[in-house]
Amino acid sequence: MRVDPRPIGIFDSGVGGLTVLREVKRRLPRESTVYLGDTARVPYGPRSAATVTKYAINNARTLLALADIKALVVACNTASAHALPALTEALPIPVVGVIEPGARAALAASTHGTIVVLGTSGTVRSGAYPRAIGPSRRVEARACPLFVPLVEEGWTTGDVPRLIAEQYLRDLPTDTSVIVLGCTHYPLLAPVLRAAVPAPIDGAAATAVELEALLRARDIQAPADSARRHRLLVTDAPEQLARVAPAFLGEAVDPASVELVDVLMTA
């Protein structure tokens, strides 16, 4: 059995992908990670497919150049929706997105009825979830553009998020059996969403499972005795990431440990 001590690269438009990093660290405690939050260009949700793809490739090349990653997790639904084929083609390493695992988790959670997917406008427009879920189930994807700013602002409880959630979740199909949180920010709104809908699920844990299978299949798992390291990189405002990170990551983050980087602009 070969081993590979190089880190796993993870990127997101900002802090939302830390919910995926959390699951990766939990599931793969031997692995080193390098997380890049593209906070200088967040959010990706409203942007065009071409722009999100360009940003995704910038981020991936930056992680390769700065940290020699052995695999990439696209911990952002919008980037997974628009850029996964382009990333897979452009990169010399395996790439895992969050949409296929999220779709599989939805199919595992229910055997009938409509699957409702909440996501950014970009994710909804892309049609990526209905494609990944396949023709066996009815899928209704709804854009919830205010959820990301609400979470970034820290307004995850109270009347404002409740009212906004009620608007977005109005008139759900009567046979709705599962709600997929198709954006890595949304799990932070789970308490508000749970009041309105049956158990919402997200793809973070399923993504970590898929990553584990991929590392095993390629024989590139970290050695048992390797020195683990977890780096956090951002393209803007490290102190802001450090401030909000604990809610996503479930642990404290030392502001001095967050590195400010410029992404490589070659697409």
Contacts with a second copy, residue ranges (CB under 8 A): 39-41, 46-48, 51, 145-146, 148-150, 152-153, 155, 159-160, 163-164, 167, 235-237, 240, 265
Contacts of residue 216, defined as CB under 8 A and 6 or more positions apart, other chains included, come to none
In terms of CB distance, is 150 or 178 closer to a second copy? 150
CA distances from 221 to 5, 7, 56, 66, 263 (A): 7, 10, 25, 20, 27
Amino acid at 82: H
Catalytic hit among 8, 76, 118, 205? 76
The encoded tokens of residue 235 equal 């393209």
In 3-state terms the chain splits into helix, strand, coil percentages (rounded to 5) of: 45, 15, 35
Closest approach of Cβ 41 to a second copy, in Å? 6
Closest approach of Cβ 86 to a second copy, in Å? 17
Closest approach of Cβ 91 to a second copy, in Å? 22
Catalytic hit among 183, 188, 205, 206? 183
In terms of CB distance, is 113 or 145 closer to a second copy? 145
* 76 catalytically annotated: yes
In terms of CB distance, is 46 or 250 closer to a second copy? 46
Distance CA 250, CA 212 (A): 21
CA distances from 72 to 95, 161, 173, 222 (A): 5, 33, 36, 15
* 183 catalytically annotated: yes
Distance CA 251, CA 216 (A): 27
Closest approach of Cβ 265 to a second copy, in Å? 6
In terms of CB distance, is 106 or 244 closer to a second copy? 244
In terms of CB distance, is 5 or 46 closer to a second copy? 46
Q: 190-193 contacts: CB < 8 A, separation 24 or more? A: 191/156, 191/157, 192/156, 192/157, 192/161, 192/162, 192/165, 193/118, 193/165, 193/169
Give the dihedral of Cα atoms 214, 219, 220, 226; nearest 10 deg: 120
Closest approach of Cβ 252 to a second copy, in Å? 22
Catalytic residues: 76, 183
